[in-house]
């Protein structure tokens, strides 16, 4: 085998074999004998769906959103779409369960350029599964706009209310609630996007300081610190490169910080669920957190500058993944299909102010 540096074209990752899955953390999704659709075509006739900020949802939307997760949680685990299997799929991909004999180390979708597109696909299929369960093709996931530092309630940079109330709308347990959360992430507390600290009382002065540093962090991760695509998306990752070579700016902070801050520090396994790769997709807020990450990818591309473009390396574009679609079938996709959310996937994001663009500079 020749030794290639990570900047030279090599071999893209093909789909993993679900038979070659290391179940040491109970991550491996079914079926163990996989059959999948080879040539998945996206349904470009879907209605355009607009993903909205989770702190601004209306009651009718919330009722539908809750219903969707209630139905998802009710699916049997023989169904690849089930609540548990969705979380397992994330666990398997994110926590090194898949093995490629030709690769160095176990495959994983963090700390490299596959981070953004893998999670985009995962959310897309998750959203389509929920839509199918609701029998409503207009259903769109919300996004958790933690980069918005607005001081008036409803707070964006705190856990949105919709996830907070365990008995919302008289449910015995709201389907959007998760027990393994950090109480300190609940309103009126706001997050420090840069640093996970002990839970301290947040005085108005401390909150004002946090808002300032959060805006500066966002400006740095999106603008000054990521003028070219490799810095934004992370390091190249091919069959012959080591896993975990380097996260992009946003993946490192605030993506990681929001995870760690939301998970329960006093859970049996500390920082469960959101703070651990293997459990994080058990919290419904995971999908809204990644909605914001996905939105920031679009924002980054829209910022001025000649180098704010998607990666065009063929190894990136030809990297393949397997997901469960809305019918519970395994489908093969490749990153080249992930780059045009409007035409391919038929969703977009509500325009929000991105005020760190002014306030963080
Ligand atoms: Cu695969 Cu935010 O994690």
What integer pLDDT is reported at residue 308 of this predicted model? 96
More confident residue, 338 or 35: 338
Average pLDDT over residues 27-44: 76
Tell me how far the alpha carbon of residue 257 lies from the centroid of ligand 1, in angstroms. Answer: 11
Domains defined along the chain, listed by start:
18-56+68-150+187-359 (1.10.1280.10)
Does the annotation count 277 as an active-site position?
yes
Marked catalytic residue, from 55, 126, 255, 289: 255
CA distance to 49, 64, 80, 82, 358, per residue, from 70 (Å): 21, 10, 16, 11, 40
Does the annotation count 290 as an active-site position?
yes
pLDDT, tens digit (0-9, with 9 covering 90-100), for 275-331? 998 999 999 999 999 999 999 999 999 999 899 999 999 999 999 999 999 999 889
Ligand 1: list residues with CB < 6 Å: 90, 94, 110, 119, 255, 259, 277, 280, 290
What the block records as the tokens of 46 is 């879907």
Query: ipTM of this model?
Result: 0.99
Marked catalytic residue, from 18, 98, 107, 110: 110
Q: Give the dihedral sign, CA 253/256/258/264.
A: negative
Backbone φ and ψ of 25, nearest 5°: -110, 15
pLDDT category, 6, cuts 50, 70, 90?
very low
Supply the residue whose CA is at minimum distance from atom 3 of ligand 1.
Answer: 277
3-state secondary structure 174-230: CCCCCCCECHHHCCCCCCCCCCCCCCCCCCHHHHHHHHHHHHHHHHHHHHHCCCCHH
What integer pLDDT is reported at residue 4 of this predicted model? 41
């Amino acid at each position: 085998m020749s030794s290639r540096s990570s900047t030279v074209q090599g071999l893209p990752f093909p789909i993993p074999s679900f038979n070659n899955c290391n179940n040491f953390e109970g991550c491996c999704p079914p079926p163990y004998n996989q059959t999948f659709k080879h040539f998945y075509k996206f349904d470009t006739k879907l209605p355009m769906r607009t993903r909205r900020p989770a702190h601004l949802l209306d009651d009718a939307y919330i009722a539908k959103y809750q219903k969707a997760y209630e139905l998802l949680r009710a699916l049997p685990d023989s169904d690849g779409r089930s609540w548990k299997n969705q979380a397992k799929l994330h666990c398997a991909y994110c926590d090194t369960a898949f093995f490629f004999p030709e690769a160095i180390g176990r495959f994983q979708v963090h700390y490299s350029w596959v981070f953004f597109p893998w999670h985009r696909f995962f959310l897309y299929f998750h959203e389509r599964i929920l839509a199918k369960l609701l029998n409503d093709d207009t259903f769109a996931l919300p996004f958790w706009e933690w980069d918005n530092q607005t001081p008036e309630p409803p707070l964006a940079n705190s856990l949105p209310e919709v996830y907070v109330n365990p008995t919302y709308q008289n449910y015995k347990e709201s389907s959007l609630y998760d027990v393994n959360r950090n109480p300190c992430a609940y309103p009126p507390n706001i997050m420090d996007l840069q640093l996970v600290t002990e839970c301290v009382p947040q005085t108005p002065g401390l909150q004002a300081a946090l808002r300032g540093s959060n805006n500066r962090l966002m400006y740095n991760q999106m603008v000054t610190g990521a003028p070219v695509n490799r810095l934004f998306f992370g390091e190249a990752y091919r069959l012959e490169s080591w896993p975990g070579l380097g996260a992009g700016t946003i993946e490192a902070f605030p993506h990681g910080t929001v995870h760690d801050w939301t998970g329960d520090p006093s859970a049996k396994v500390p920082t469960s669920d959101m703070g651990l790769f293997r459990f994080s997709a058990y919290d419904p807020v995971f999908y809204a957190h990644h909605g914001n990450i996905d939105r920031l990818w679009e924002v980054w591309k829209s910022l001025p500058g000649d180098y704010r473009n998607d990666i065009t390396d063929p190894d990136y574009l030809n990297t393949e993944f397997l997901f469960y679609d809305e019918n519970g079938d395994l489908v093969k996709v490749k990153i080249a299909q992930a780059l045009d959310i409007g035409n391919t996937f038929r969703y977009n994001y509500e325009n929000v102010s991105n005020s760190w663009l002014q306030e963080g500079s």
